[in-house]
C-alpha cells in the first residue's frame, strides 16, 4: 500500500512565477490536509479538503494561494506570483473515509523562490 | 484557539540513556488527541506516538512513552535506551476530537534532539 505521494520533491521558481504542488493521498483516503513549514519553524495548517470540496481554508493566505482536490487525480496546491517569503516545505497529509484521527504525511515539497 | 508550546529548542542525550522532551498545550476542549511526530533530516514526518485525552493510561510504543497530565495540560515524551537513529526534530501536536470541529493538527515549534555516541 503506497504511502502519500508528493511531487515534485524540490521546486525552484523565480519571483512572479506560478508553483503547482501535487499530492496523491494513500489508497482509500479521501481527506487531504496541506501544511507549510517555514525554515526553523513547526508545521502550520493551510487547508483541509475532501473530494471536490474545500472543508476548511482558514490557514490559507487570502491572496495568491488556492487548493483543489478533484474527483479524479491528485490534490493540487497552487501558488501564483510567488515571492521569496513563499520559500518553505509544503507537506500533504491524508486520512481515511471515516475521518480517522491519524494523518499520514507525504515527504513534502521544498519550494525555493529565487 | 489551541496552542502547543515546546520550550526546549534543543536537547541532547548520550546513546543508551533516557531523555524527556516537554510539551504543554492550551485548550478549552475536553475531547482531543495529542501526538508526537519525528522529523529526521529526510524531512519525512513520522508518527511516534498518540494519546487520546479520554484515556488515563499513558501511551507506550516500544522505547517511547508519554507522561500525559491532563489537568496540567502537559504531554511529555520519554525516549528510553536512546539510539543514534532517534536523532531528529520532534514535534508535539494537538487535534480536536469534537465532531464537526476542525480536524487539522496544531504543531509546536519543535525540539531538535541530538544523540551522542
Contacts of B98 (CB under 8 A, 6+ apart): B29, B31, B32
Average pLDDT over residues A74-78: 97
User: Does the pLDDT of residue A100 top 90, yes or no?
Assistant: no
Chain A CA closest to residue B34: A101
pLDDT given at position B93: 95
pLDDT given at position B77: 98
pLDDT given at position B31: 87
Region of poorest pLDDT, from A15-24, A65-74, A93-102, B78-87: A93-102
Which tops the pLDDT comparison, B111 or A101? B111
For B64-92, the DSSP string reads EEEEEETTTTEEEEEE-S--GGG-EEEEE
pLDDT given at position A102: 82
User: Does the pLDDT of residue A58 top 80, yes or no?
Assistant: yes
pLDDT given at position B62: 95
> pLDDT confidence of A96, banded at 50, 70, 90?
confident
Q: Strand locations in B1-117, DSSP E?
A: 3-5, 10-14, 19-21, 24-26, 32-39, 46-52, 60-61, 64-69, 74-79, 88-96, 106-107, 111-116
Give the span between the Cα atoms of B60 and A34, in whole angstroms.
Answer: 28
pLDDT given at position A101: 66
Distance between A42 CA and the closest CA of chain B, angstroms? 4
> Cβ distance B87 to B40 under 8 Å?
yes
Q: Which residues of B touch A (CB under 8 A)?
A: 33, 37, 42-47, 50, 91, 95, 97, 102-110
pLDDT given at position A1: 52
pLDDT given at position B25: 97
- B45/A89 touch (CB, cutoff 8 Å), yes or no: no
pLDDT given at position B68: 96
Low pLDDT (below 50) residues in chain B: none
Strand partners, A84: none
User: Does the pLDDT of residue A44 top 90, yes or no?
Assistant: yes
Amino acid at each position: 500500500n503506497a504511502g502519500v505521494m508528493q511531487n515534485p520533491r524540490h521546486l525552484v521558481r523565480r519571483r512572479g512565477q506560478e508553483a503547482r504542488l501535487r499530492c496523491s493521498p494513500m489508497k482509500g483516503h479521501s481527506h487531504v490536509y496541506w501544511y507549510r513549514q517555514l525554515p526553523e519553524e513547526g508545521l502550520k495548517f493551510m487547508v483541509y479538503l475532501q473530494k471536490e470540496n474545500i472543508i476548511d481554508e482558514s490557514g490559507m493566505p487570502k491572496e495568491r494561494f488556492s487548493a483543489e482536490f478533484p474527483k479524479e487525480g491528485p490534490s493540487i496546491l497552487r501558488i501564483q506570483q510567488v515571492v521569496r517569503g513563499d520559500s518553505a516545505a509544503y507537506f500533504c497529509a491524508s486520512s481515511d473515509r471515516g475521518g480517522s484521527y491519524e494523518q499520514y504525511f507525504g515527504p513534502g515539497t521544498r519550494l525555493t523562490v529565487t | 484557539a489551541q496552542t502547543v508550546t515546546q520550550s526546549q529548542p534543543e536537547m541532547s542525550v548520550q546513546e543508551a540513556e533516557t531523555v524527556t522532551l516537554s510539551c504543554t498545550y492550551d485548550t478549552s476542549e475536553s475531547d482531543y488527541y495529542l501526538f508526537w511526530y519525528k522529523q529526521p533530516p529526510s524531512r519525512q514526518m513520522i508518527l511516534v506516538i498518540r494519546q487520546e485525552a479520554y484515556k488515563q493510561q499513558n501511551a507506550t510504543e516500544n522505547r517511547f512513552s508519554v507522561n500525559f497530565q491532563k489537568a496540567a495540560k502537559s504531554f511529555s515524551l520519554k525516549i528510553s535506551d536512546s539510539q543514534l537513529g532517534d536523532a531528529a526534530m520532534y514535534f508535539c501536536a494537538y487535534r480536536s476530537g469534537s465532531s464537526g470541529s476542525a480536524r487539522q493538527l496544531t504543531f509546536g515549534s519543535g525540539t531538535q534532539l541530538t544523540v551522542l555516541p
